Amino acid sequence: MDLFDKFKPIAAAYEELRALGGDPFKVSFDRIVSPTIGVIGNAEIVLAGTNNYLGLTFDPNVIAAAQTGAAEFGAGTTGSRIANGTYSPHKLLEQELAAHFGLDQAIVFTTGYQANLAVVAGLAGPQDVVLIDADCHASIYDACKLSGAQIVRFAHNDPASLDRRLSRLDPEASNKMVITEGLYSMFGDVSPLAEFIEVKKRHNAYLVVDEAHSFGVFGPNGLGLAEADGVLADCDILVGTFSKSLAGIGGFAASSLPQFDLLRVAARAYMFTASSSAASVEATRAALREIKAQPELRDQIWANAKRLHAGLAGAGFKLCASPSPVIGVDMGDPGKATAFWNALLDEGVYVNLAIPPGTPNSTSLLRCSVSAAHSADQIDHIIKSFAAVGAKLAPPDAAE
Amino acid sequence: MTGTAAHDELMGELAGMLSKLNKSGVTITRATDFNADLNVDSVAVMDFVLEVEDTYDISIPINLLSEVTTVGEFADVVARARAEN
């Protein structure tokens, strides 16, 4: 009897995966040269699995802001937001995010994971029902468990499935919170938000939209899918992260619900963790300014996404969704996906390996994320590398 | 219909719905383990639950699945949800 006995199946699967080459879960970069180039040993790798959508991690203004934040406020805050850990940069970032969304309030959290924990587990309790899209992120599933609420899962991107589940609930018995994401991180597909909103209104439910992967990328002002679809005002709470388009670490929730501020004294994920460092917060504030100042970054990321999507489709790969900055390439099974992942890294391209459990429909895929900072040559290198590896190994479609 | 007959009918229907997950063609009994016998991961089990919910027009909150490992245990959850409906 051993604490680790329960992990035997995972350990066996992990060992099998490592036997195929490198360890996809322990990649370590010796240097990061730019938003799109990393170095492992002496090899320069094109980064195509970073979520660095707008490429702002090396923006001079963002780096300078981080340096100023550290110089003026110190390396860390050493305390929680409700104790000594709220500095003026935290408050300013919250005001700027709220103004950016045109909403009454925004609250900043230490990570995006904690933003979901705080919103879902902070607001929903044992008397409430949380209805989640089947493909929601692990942080949302974890938050649901922590909440103690009744958790009902509806079919991915299926408003009729949500409608049926809401119809089965006693309309008066409980509060109902519906959670979807904007852009889904594995397949790169988007939520039919307007249809979900029609359903949630009919059932008097709250809607939380996690824009982690869509903030900065969708909408005329980069606010996310809700802005792009013209339904921002119908979403009750928007959640997002700083660790993708905003190039830092942290998360936020924004809302005009009148009592939203109560989360600060009710959400354990806000209260019982140290706040973000001033360096991180100032970097995020600067990235937010850059997003506003450089709308051309969105044009560039979409051009790059379409170029990569068309190139991979043209090379015969089976793609999981229409073009978006997340492009999932269906590999058929975990062994093929892992072998392909290793060979791609040997070709100088890093993508994310995603295999079951935890992937939609038990799909084994290579997940590419595109950056506005990718050059056309880098995009073409990614496509050529996929094609070269595909020619060496059995192409996934042919192997089906 | 007696309780046993109703249960047998439910088990038969669940076994039918499980056929597409039952790739190795094992005989489905109450003791069949989703993971060990059917090699079905937790996400696939939750997808199966969606189908069962819509077939019987019932709600099966995923909180109820944490203790479920076998088809028989799942059938009991389904039977309770149908009785409460």
Residue B19 contacts A where some CB pair is shorter than 8 Å: no
Q: What pLDDT sits at residue A398?
A: 45
Question: At a CB cut-off of 8 Å and minimum separation 6, what does A242 contact?
Answer: A112, A248, A249, A250, A251, A252, A280, A284, A287
**Between vectors from CA A327 to CA A324 and to CA A328, what angle results, nearest 5°?**
140
Report the distance separating Cα B32 and Cα B35, nearest Å: 9
Radius of gyration of chain A (CA): 21
- Per the CB < 8 A criterion, the answer to whether A93 and A108 are in contact is yes
Which is nearest to B20 in space by CA: A362, A162, A132?
A: A362
Question: At a CB cut-off of 8 Å and minimum separation 6, what does A262 contact?
Answer: none
Q: Look at residue B44 and tell me whether its pLDDT is greater than 90.
A: no
pTM (two decimals): 0.95
CA distances from A345 to A23, A49, A325 (A): 11, 11, 20
- CB contacts of A153 in chain B (<8 Å) are 46, 49-50, 62
- Per the CB < 8 A criterion, the answer to whether B66 and B24 are in contact is no
Torsion angle of alpha carbons A216, A27, A110, A73, nearest 10°?
-100
Which is nearest to A90 in space by CA: A72, A103, A108, A106?
A: A108
Residue B53 contacts A where some CB pair is shorter than 8 Å: yes
Report the distance separating Cα A384 and Cα A319, nearest Å: 16
**What ipTM does this complex have?**
0.91
> Concatenated DSSP letters for B16-65?
HHGGGT-TT-PPP-TT-BTTTTT---HHHHHHHHHHHHHHHT----GGGG
- Residue identified by tokens 């018995």 is A173
- Per the CB < 8 A criterion, the answer to whether A81 and A272 are in contact is no
pLDDT tier at B84, thresholds 50, 70, 90:
confident
Residues of A annotated as part of the active site: 51, 137, 181, 185, 210, 213, 244
Q: How far is B64 from chain A (nearest CA, A)?
A: 9
Q: What pLDDT sits at residue A170?
A: 85
DSSP β-bridge partners for residue A132: A153, A179
Which is nearest to A386 in space by CA: A334, A326, A337, A322?
A: A337
Mutation pick from B20, B21, B42, B43 vs chain A, by most beta carbons of A within 10 Å, is: B43
Query: What is the sign of the dihedral through the CA atoms of A281, A282, A285 and A286?
Result: negative
* Identity at A330, one-letter amino acid code: D
* Identity at A198, one-letter amino acid code: E
The two three-digit tokens of residue A201, written as one number: 């209104």
The two three-digit tokens of residue A328, written as one number: 């999932």
Q: Give the helix/strand (H/E) hosting A383.
A: helix A376-392
Q: What pLDDT sits at residue A399?
A: 42
Is the CB of A165 less than 8 angstroms away from the CB of B49?
no
- Per the CB < 8 A criterion, the answer to whether A320 and A330 are in contact is yes
CA distances from A276 to A4, A72, A78, A244, B8 (A): 33, 14, 9, 16, 57
The values of phi and psi at residue A258, to 5°, are: -55, -35
Show which residues on chain A lie within 8 Å of chain B, measured between beta carbons.
9, 129, 134, 144-145, 150-155, 161, 164-165, 168-169, 356-362
- Residue identified by tokens 């009454």 is A104
- CB contacts of A144 in chain B (<8 Å) are 62
Is the CB of B57 less than 8 angstroms away from the CB of A153?
no
Question: At a CB cut-off of 8 Å and minimum separation 6, what does A252 contact?
Answer: A93, A94, A97, A106, A107, A108, A109, A115, A239, A240, A241, A242
Which is nearest to A35 in space by CA: A327, A311, A287, A247?
A: A247
Q: What pLDDT sits at residue A190?
A: 98
Which is nearest to B47 in space by CA: A364, A360, A199?
A: A360
Report the distance separating Cα A218 and Cα A287, nearest Å: 16
Q: What pLDDT sits at residue A381?
A: 98
Q: What pLDDT sits at residue A400?
A: 43
Q: What pLDDT sits at residue A397?
A: 53
pLDDT tens over chain A, length 400 residues: 899 998 988 898 889 888 888 888 999 999 999 999 999 999 999 999 999 999 999 999 999 999 999 999 999 999 999 999 999 999 999 999 999 999 999 999 999 999 999 999 999 999 999 999 999 999 999 999 999 999 999 999 999 999 999 999 988 878 999 999 999 999 999 999 999 999 999 999 999 999 999 999 999 999 999 999 999 999 999 999 999 999 999 999 999 999 999 999 999 999 999 999 999 999 999 999 999 999 999 999 999 999 999 999 999 999 999 999 999 999 999 999 999 999 999 999 999 999 987 788 889 999 999 999 999 999 999 999 999 999 999 655 544 4
Q: Look at residue B40 and tell me whether its pLDDT is greater than 90.
A: no
Report the distance separating Cα A243 and Cα A180, nearest Å: 19
Long-range contacts of B13-16 (CB under 8 A, 24+ apart): B13/B55, B14/B52, B14/B71, B14/B74, B14/B75, B14/B78, B15/B71
Residue B29 contacts A where some CB pair is shorter than 8 Å: no
> Concatenated DSSP letters for A87-139?
-HHHHHHHHHHHHHHT-SEEEEESSHHHHHIIIIIHH--TTSEEEEETT--HH
**Between vectors from CA A75 to CA A72 and to CA A77, what angle results, nearest 5°?**
90
